[in-house]
């Protein structure tokens, strides 16, 4: 599979040309790009890939919204949409190590020292209250300071100067842990950010598993071949060789800067916080690189992150409840699970598995396999008719969740969590039966002869 971003873009252009919009008039990256994409979706129900050819204040063209379609994501994985979770799980279980190459598209232009200028990149401001221009599609590549195992994740960067940004490290997640370790060693954490990558690489970056699972291997497994990685110019980190643009940097062990407000994926604009400072050492890129902007908090962002989250949660529940049928993450911090419950108590085990597998999840609903977790009405029906809060509610106090959850305001993600076992008790086969129609009557009714 071609590993560069443009090959995938060209595949969409040739196979689904109507999913592509090129905007030739000049656009202001402050506010207008995100608003254009979101308003287009509201008014037309369409979610094309956008290229903004002429962006005020920069020579880079901006591309966005490529992940806002399940179909396009499935294309990037080389499978049908309904096969995505299966392929992702297979990739997690069958990782392929990367291969080092000497050079790649991301090395066509190399800027170091005084040539580094973050202000030359598109200064995209996404929502009305944002405190500044953000890079929202930066995929971090960093090595565990103790084991050397890579971790990859999306981490937003607020541009604060020619060679500085802030970074949001979710408290308790892997990159935050690496930074804690490096700080304890009195060292900055070397990290490179890739912007504009094949979506298979983006999906792999969002894999959630043990800190000892190397996401560059999962990227390879999704690509079905080793990820080509090339060494950075200024730091001891390697990055996807065919990325559009790379930022080489260090996260300071001591410096912080005020970051935000920022329009979060939760739909809220959270206030400013002190965050770690990133010192940029080099920018390297393809000659006519596209700058990818993640349409943050909207479908581009949400669809991309849901596939890896659901796969990981399915894997976790299956290890405890082998008869799990489906897992869905319908909205922030929420997970619906359906299981074929063979033994009393498996519903509660499923809840515990979810909480054990994903820091972000705060609310879990477990239903029987006759309930479709992709239909909110059915989940609500099961909640209302099969659960008793005093018996079926699991409440966990003083746990760690997302530091972006506004209901934990002031306590940055120190949260309680709740799960409801909405499976029928003691087991579905012994529960009050669902009403049904008399045998043969349903088939004998000819609706077309009644409704003309
Ligand atoms: C577009 C996008 C932006 C994100 N921004 C951040 C961020 O700024 N900070 C962060 O900690 N996680 C962010 N995330 C979530 C992490 O990338 C995600 O939870 C990742 O799996 C964490 O990696 P880890 O499990 O290896 O720690 C973002 C995800 C997406 C899709």
263-298, pLDDT tens digit by residue? Answer: 999 999 998 999 999 999 999 999 999 999 999 899
Task: Report whether pLDDT(146) > 80.
Answer: yes
How far separated are the first and last CA of the chain, in Å rounded?
52
- Choose which residue among 64, 126, 149, 155 to substitute to test ligand 1 binding: the one with the highest number of ligand atoms within 8 A of its C-beta: 155
pTM above 0.85, yes or no: yes
Ligand 1 atom nearest to CA at 137: 1
Of all protein residues, the one whose alpha carbon is nearest to atom 6 of ligand 1 is: 155
| Cα 171 → chain centroid | 16
For residues 349-359, give the mean pLDDT. Answer: 98
Model pLDDT, residue 323: 98
CA of 294 to the centre of ligand 1 (A): 12
Residue 411 pLDDT class (50, 70, 90 cuts) = confident
Of all protein residues, the one whose alpha carbon is nearest to atom 29 of ligand 1 is: 154
Task: Report whether pLDDT(1) > 90.
Answer: no
HEC string for 55-106: ECCCCCEEEECCCCCHHHHHHHHCCCHHHHHHHHHHHHHCCCCCEECCCCHH
For the segment 70-110, what is each residue's pLDDT rounded down to a tens digit? 999 999 999 999 999 999 999 999 999 999 999 999 999 99
Verify whether ligand 1 is closer than 6 Å to residue 206 (CB atom): yes
The domain segmentation of the chain, as residue ranges, is: 81-294, 321-430
Ligand 1 atom nearest to CA at 209: 25
Model pLDDT, residue 445: 95
For the segment 294-316, what is each residue's pLDDT rounded down to a tens digit? 998 999 999 999 999 999 999 99
Distance CA 401, CA 413 (A): 5
- Choose which residue among 138, 206, 299 to substitute to test ligand 1 binding: the one with the highest number of ligand atoms within 8 A of its C-beta: 206
Distance CA 107, CA 102 (A): 10
CA of 369 to the centre of ligand 1 (A): 31
The CA distances from residue 27 to 34, 219, 358, in Å, are 11, 34, 39
Model pLDDT, residue 285: 98
CATH of domain 321-430: 3.40.1670.10
Classified by CATH at the fold level, domain 81-294 comes out as Pnp Oxidase; Chain A (2.30.110)
Give the DSSP letter string of 165-226. Answer: EEE---TTSHHHHHHHHHHHTT-PEEEEEEES--HHHHHHHT----TTS-HHHHHHHHHTSP
Distance CA 452, CA 443 (A): 19
For residues 6-25, give the mean pLDDT. Answer: 96
Q: In this structure, what token pair is assigned to residue 239? A: 């990055």
Model pLDDT, residue 250: 98
Model pLDDT, residue 452: 86
Burial class (CB in 10 A: 0-12, 13-18, 19+), 354: buried
């Amino acid at each position: 599979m071609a590993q560069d971003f443009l090959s995938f873009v060209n595949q969409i252009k040739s196979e689904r040309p109507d999913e592509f919009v090129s905007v030739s008039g000049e656009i202001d990256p402050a506010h207008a790009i995100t608003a254009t994409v979101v308003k287009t979706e509201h008014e037309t129900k369409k979610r094309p890939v956008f290229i903004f050819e002429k962006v005020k204040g920069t020579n880079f063209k901006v591309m966005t919204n490529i992940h806002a379609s399940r179909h396009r994501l499935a294309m990037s994985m080389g499978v049908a949409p309904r096969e995505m979770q299966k392929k992702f799980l297979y990739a997690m279980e069958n990782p392929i190590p990367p291969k080092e190459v000497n050079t790649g598209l991301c090395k066509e232009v190399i800027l170091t020292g005084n040539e580094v200028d973050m202000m030359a990149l598109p200064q995209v401001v996404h929502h009305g209250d944002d405190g500044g221009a953000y890079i929202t599609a930066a995929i971090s590549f960093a090595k565990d300071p103790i084991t050397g195992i890579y971790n990859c994740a999306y981490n937003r960067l607020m541009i604060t100067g020619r060679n500085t940004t802030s970074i949001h490290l979710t408290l308790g997640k892997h990159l935050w842990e690496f930074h804690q370790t490096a700080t304890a060693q009195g060292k900055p954490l070397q990290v490179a950010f890739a912007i504009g990558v094949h979506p298979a690489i983006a999906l792999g970056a969002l894999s959630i598993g043990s800190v000892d699972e190397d996401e560059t291997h999962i990227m390879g497994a999704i690509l079905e071949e080793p990820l080509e990685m090339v060494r950075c110019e200024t730091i001891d980190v390697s990055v996807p060789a065919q990325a559009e643009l790379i930022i080489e940097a260090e996260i300071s062990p001591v410096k912080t800067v005020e970051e935000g407000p920022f329009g979060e994926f939760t739909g809220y604009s959270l206030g400013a916080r002190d965050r770690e400072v990133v010192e940029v050492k080099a920018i390297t890129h393809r000659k006519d690189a596209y700058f990818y902007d993640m349409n943050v908090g909207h479908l581009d962002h949400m669809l991309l992150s849901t596939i890896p989250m659901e796969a990981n949660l399915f894997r976790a529940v299956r290890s405890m409840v082998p008869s799990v049928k489906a897992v869905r993450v319908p909205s922030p911090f929420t997970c619906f699970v359906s299981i074929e419950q063979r033994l009393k108590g498996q519903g509660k085990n499923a809840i515990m598995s979810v909480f054990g597998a994903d820091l972000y999840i705060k609310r879990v609903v477990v239903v029987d396999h006759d309930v479709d977790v992709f239909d909110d009405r059915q989940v609500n029906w099961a909640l209302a008719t099969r659960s008793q809060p005093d018996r079926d509610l699991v409440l966990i106090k003083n746990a760690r969740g997302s530091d972006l959850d506004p209901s934990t305001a002031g306590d940055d993600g120190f949260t309680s969590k709740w799960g409801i076992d909405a499976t029928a008790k003691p087991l579905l086969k012994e529960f009050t039966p669902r009403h049904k129609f008399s045998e043969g009557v349903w088939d004998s009714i000819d609706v077309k002869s009644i409704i003309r």
